[in-house]
Structure 1
């Protein structure tokens, strides 16, 4: 089937389709892609008030959180912390103390979690990730942190920590032109790290997308008087200029390797295009960015909508989503599988669509 009418509520269609494809038991383990998707489902719940959407999220989380709040995760990497947003959400919605107890395990883990010399959280507490900052990581922990602080009256710590992390990561990863490199290795020992700068070689679009969404989320949370706010706004404004520059003029989307769209094997990727669209729209709406970025976001939105359709079974399909990805070179990124209905893409789409559907 082709593209249906523009009146389609794509968030509802996507949530209903995904719930039909997976039960809370079969959707997958405790992971950030599922956590991202279910966060998007929660945003759809907030608008529609469809109780099945929330009960599905609760059923998923209750697989991992016991009635006493114990949770069998060690939280030794940032990726494992992203689904913690669901714990804060469920505490807010149900008032059940077990979700606070489980969420506090993540908060307390950060007290001993390893950091670079300037305070940035390592991507993981393992030899293969030691001393490394990945742009992906800022989204895995910092939106959770500021939401945790608001829910549990810990904002004095969480706002400062989240703002510091965005600043430290940005100070290392952002380069001339505004884009961010995928990762930085303080020890300069990773195979991909530049001996001089410690930086990875490429601008991988979803890594930059994670950072884009995270910095907007943190700016939304911290007070206007926060001492790091001006620096974060500068990072975001430079990043936005880079996003506008590298947006594909033909499709409105962004390329898997962002600054090399002229190469024939490069391709426009749907999850990052959703992430950038969200961040630019939200940034313009909130005054973090110049108002013209709302138009840039609209081009991105139309580009992503071109990648969603209804199949013959009446369910949504979202195409050209890069699967999970490590740090690599150009050939590695462009060779990644281009999946349909991967949770990275579904979650990013829902976050974007809930921001832009009525704009």
Structure 2
């Protein structure tokens, strides 16, 4: 076939793929706007706030909403548009009462993630309620159950279990709390210890992380009898962990004794990310190391998290410039999964629904969601980092 005809055929196939993905997600088909003419962070934020016009409609206190709104806060910092800060504050005030009490359960780590918003809101407004609420999370961390070597359990209801993603739920908050309120001695040591312990138990010879580890070896998801780990390298759980590494390293003092080991762990993950990046799309697969399986698929939230990690780490001087190329390719790949619908609102495609540690086929069969909060949140924080560096 003539080269020009081949290119035309490929464009047609791509167009049908976009239409199919949009219709599968219940979204009207549309053509992606040129990346150079669109502020995609604002497009995704504004679309989400249009769909949830009040903080109350956005939903209850949770880690995914907390990360998305931390991205909204970054957009506020860049643009100065107060409506973004007002939305974040309105959402926090649904859970922080007039006395600074945090009216949510802290039986697992996930609800600790929005604590970073409390630190930011205290800095922006001076309202002491937000510091008091952050202190509630800080106090809970001190008494939270741990493994024998100091790793915070995924949940107080899952004794001995460490999940790769859980470190993002508490440790960046804790490091930021230590810096903001002069509590660095405890906060820096504890955040570093949790990252190191979790990585030690979950890292595989290929540089990727398994989803979970069980100290007791009897978890319902069937740990390996020798390593006590799960068996699959799920893209998003590793992404949460890598973001935690770079966010804690951003705050951790340069002379902290654990800093070199944390940077070494970051390098291990970065090498694996470069190795397993899908060369055509620039994204990463749902099961990262099984790109040869035709049933596998590239997942948007994890790809955004890897891109965030690499781009921010290069900016901070934690990784060599080579990884900027990997991050740029990832950024383009993730942007290809963001399109505007017939209603003019941005949509983020192909985000895996959540899952617990499980078997290989379970990960492959997870639904591919449109505008899932994991994907929305990961996209906004990633895009803010990558566009800063353009």
Relative to the length of structure 2, the TM-score reads: 0.90
Query: 1:99 matched to which residue of 2?
Result: 130
- The alignment partner of 2:58 has SS state of coil
- The alignment partner of 1:264 has SS state of coil
Query: 2:298 matched to which residue of 1?
Result: 268
Pair 1:12 & 2:12 matched: no
CA distance, structure 2, for counterparts of residue 223 and residue 147 of structure 1: 12
Residue 344 of structure 1 deviates from its aligned partner by 0.6
Pair 1:209 & 2:239 matched: yes
Query: Which of 372, 375, 386 in structure 2 is aligned with 1:345?
Result: 375
- The alignment partner of 1:257 has SS state of coil
Query: 1:316 matched to which residue of 2?
Result: 346
- Count of residues in correspondence between the two structures: 357
- The alignment partner of 2:57 has SS state of coil
Residue 21 of structure 1 deviates from its aligned partner by 0.3
Pair 1:195 & 2:229 matched: no
Note the aligned Cα RMSD (angstroms).
0.9
Query: Which of 301, 308, 312 in structure 1 is aligned with 2:331?
Result: 301
- The alignment partner of 1:309 has SS state of strand
Query: 2:32 matched to which residue of 1?
Result: 3
Residue 88 of structure 1 deviates from its aligned partner by 1.0
Query: 1:40 matched to which residue of 2?
Result: 71
Query: Which of 143, 149, 166 in structure 2 is aligned with 1:112?
Result: 143
Residue 213 of structure 1 deviates from its aligned partner by 0.4
CA distance, structure 1, for counterparts of residue 263 and residue 361 of structure 2: 33
Residue 74 of structure 1 deviates from its aligned partner by 2.8
Contact 2:97–2:103 (CA<8 Å) still a contact in 1? no
CA distance, structure 1, for counterparts of residue 288 and residue 376 of structure 2: 21
CA distance, structure 2, for counterparts of residue 11 and residue 282 of structure 1: 16
Query: 1:251 matched to which residue of 2?
Result: 281
Gapped regions of structure 2 (runs ≥ 5): 1-29
Pair 1:238 & 2:275 matched: no
Contact 1:210–1:275 (CA<8 Å) still a contact in 2? yes
Deviates more, 1:58-67 or 1:278-287: 278-287
Query: 1:334 matched to which residue of 2?
Result: 364
Contact 1:192–1:201 (CA<8 Å) still a contact in 2? no
Query: 1:152 matched to which residue of 2?
Result: 181
Residue 265 of structure 1 deviates from its aligned partner by 1.0
Residue 357 of structure 1 deviates from its aligned partner by 1.4
* 1:13-51 CA distance string (max 9 Å, x none): 111111110020111111111111101111111100110
CA distance, structure 1, for counterparts of residue 143 and residue 387 of structure 2: 41
